[in-house]
Structure formats: structure tokens, C-alpha cells
Amino acid sequence: RRLGRRPPVTLLDVFRQHARSRPRHPLLLFQDEVYTFQDLEKLSNKAAWAFSRRLGLESGGTVAVLMPNEPGYLWTWLALAKLGCAMACLNCNVRGAALTHALGAAGARVMVASAGERGFGGI
């Protein structure tokens, strides 16, 4: 029903509504860290600013993301959604020819990777 509305209600819209109405409620528990809606709102805004200013990302672009399941993945996704960029999710366990193929299929001109993915070489 929500997608049938014009304009459709997106997951980003729902997140923003919760961030406004319950900013201090827990959203994510990762190891010993608890992230609230407010935390994710702030972190995703900072990431969106950096992606826009430093990487020149604009609405309509595609960004390849090579990150494991970690909190940064969530605020990266939110930041890209706020900018209107599509996110091509790459499996961080893939290397070599398979990764090269995935990058080509994504059609992204930018790739964002976590610090643990530096120097993955072998593309």
C-alpha cells in the first residue's frame, strides 16, 4: 500500500519519521555498542556530506559498496539513499574475477569499502 502512494513511502521516509519521533530509542545493537535513531541520523548525515563534497556523488549515481555486516554499512546505505544514489552491494568475500565482474555489472564509478577491505588486491 505504501508503494502505491504517490510519491511512494520509502524505507528512508520511515527511518526519518522514527528518527524525529523517537530519536533516543535503540535501533541497532552491535557487539557492546547501542546505536539510537539519532545516532544513525547524525552518522548518515555526516557520511552523506562527505560523499557529496569529497566524492562528488549526486542523485542518480550508483555506488559499489564493499563492506561486511557492521554498523557503518547501515549509515552508508542511509547516506546514499539521502543523496538519491543507488547502492550496488558487493559480497565482501568475493575476490578476483568474480569481484571484477560484479564491479562491471554494477556500473558504479565509485566504490566505498570498509577499512578492513583496504588492499584487497587481486581484482
Tens digit of pLDDT for each residue in 37-83?
999 999 999 999 999 999 999 899 999 999 998 999 999 999 999 99
Cβ contact 25:49 at 8 Å: no
Terminus-to-terminus CA distance in the chain, angstroms?
42
Provide the Cα torsion 85, 91, 97, 100; round to 10°: 10
Listed by start position, the domains of the chain span 11-113
**What is residue 88's DSSP assignment?**
E
State pLDDT tens for residues 74-110. Answer: 999 999 999 999 999 998 888 899 988 998 999 998 9
More confident residue, 99 or 116: 99
Q: Given CATH 3.40.50.980, say whether it is the number of domain 11-113.
A: yes
pLDDT for residue 122: 42
- Whether residue 116 is predicted with pLDDT greater than 80 in this model: the reply is no
